[in-house]
Structure 1
């Protein structure tokens, strides 16, 4: 019965870590997890367990491990020597946790890596003034109109319309070229 309770507490700890770290649930704190799941465990031991499990979840999540990768990783963790080793019970709990939470943790990580608001769409056109009705020639320069559709997750889009003359278009293209050169120089340095 004690093993069942220990397994439940560990699964609860893993889910609590996921709630706090990946699902932004601010109500789940380290203190709450200790008091609810491990009330008799000394603070230092709980902290060590908490940090170890949090680190393991992070390693698994960042690599987005599939079943085989997870099993190989956990096998390696159980074979470690010393305090960093994972028990077979902890490995089993991590495996069960990851099977049930992988897609949700992945979605959370993807959501955290996106800039908000995001560009949902872009449309553009160039307007030219044609000759007037009395046969006069038109002297106006072409105008580029750009419409950006911006939006945050779970919200309606906002639209921004920009108007550019030829000089402004050239400025934008020059700035984009400078940005590309900066990216290229950083990429070639690494």
Structure 2
């Protein structure tokens, strides 16, 4: 295979790996990539190449490598002895590919890490109930009414309404304080 063809095929393989691994396009499979890009390559050889490139891309993506980090990483990969390293041509192709795809991969990873649906807004007020729900007996205690607005990207909002008595509000505040303490411990540990 000519050097230019080899670079184009590797770039297409990297694109396919990104589509299946990062962009969640399940129709892009290793079998399909082999059939379209490397039909003459032995199955075991393709599996090894695909696995190596997938591992390199995942390392680059998880570290969100900038250009300096990328060059150091690729240099180390080309110096590896044995079958686990990269050729200089592969490293150059990876470098060009990462320059063009880094921001897209990062956005895809960030979008995949967000919880859906997300909290869009909270409104609340405190009322005093004048009658119990089931009957006419006066309650007289304060009640917190909370409305949570939930929704995913491109979706209409859904609303969740909560009615909390004084004891439940105290429990919620205690739990929130525990969560804050846990977050503070983790943040200050690093």
**TM-score grouping bracket, smaller chain normalisation:** 0.7 to 0.9
Shift, 1:127, TM fit:
2.5
> Aligned ranges for residues 1-150 of structure 1 at < 5 Å?
2-128=2-128, 140-150=140-150
Shift, 1:176, TM fit:
3.6
SS in 1 for 2:24: coil
Query: CA–CA distance in 1 between the matches of 2:38 and 2:139?
Result: 80
SS in 2 for 1:83: helix
Cα root mean square deviation, aligned: 2.6
TM-score, scaled to structure 1: 0.85
Judge conservation of contact 2:144–2:165 (CA < 8 Å) in 1: yes
TM-score, scaled to structure 2: 0.85
Shift, 1:98, TM fit:
0.8
Shift, 1:71, TM fit:
1.0
SS in 2 for 1:65: coil
Query: CA–CA distance in 2 between the matches of 1:188 and 1:175?
Result: 20
Shift, 1:187, TM fit:
8.5
**Larger deviation, residues 79-88 vs 24-33:** 79-88
Count how many residue pairs are aligned between Structure 1 and Structure 2.
183
SS in 2 for 1:146: strand
Shift, 1:185, TM fit:
8.2
Q: Deviations over 1:27-52 (max 9, x none)?
A: 10000000100000000000000000
The unaligned stretches of length 5 or more in structure 1 are 131-137
Shift, 1:182, TM fit:
6.7
Q: Tell me what 1:156 maps to.
A: 156
Query: CA–CA distance in 2 between the matches of 1:81 and 1:13?
Result: 23
Query: CA–CA distance in 1 between the matches of 2:99 and 2:169?
Result: 51
Query: CA–CA distance in 2 between the matches of 1:181 and 1:76?
Result: 41
Q: Deviations over 1:14-66 (max 9, x none)?
A: 00000000011111000000010000000000000000000000000000011
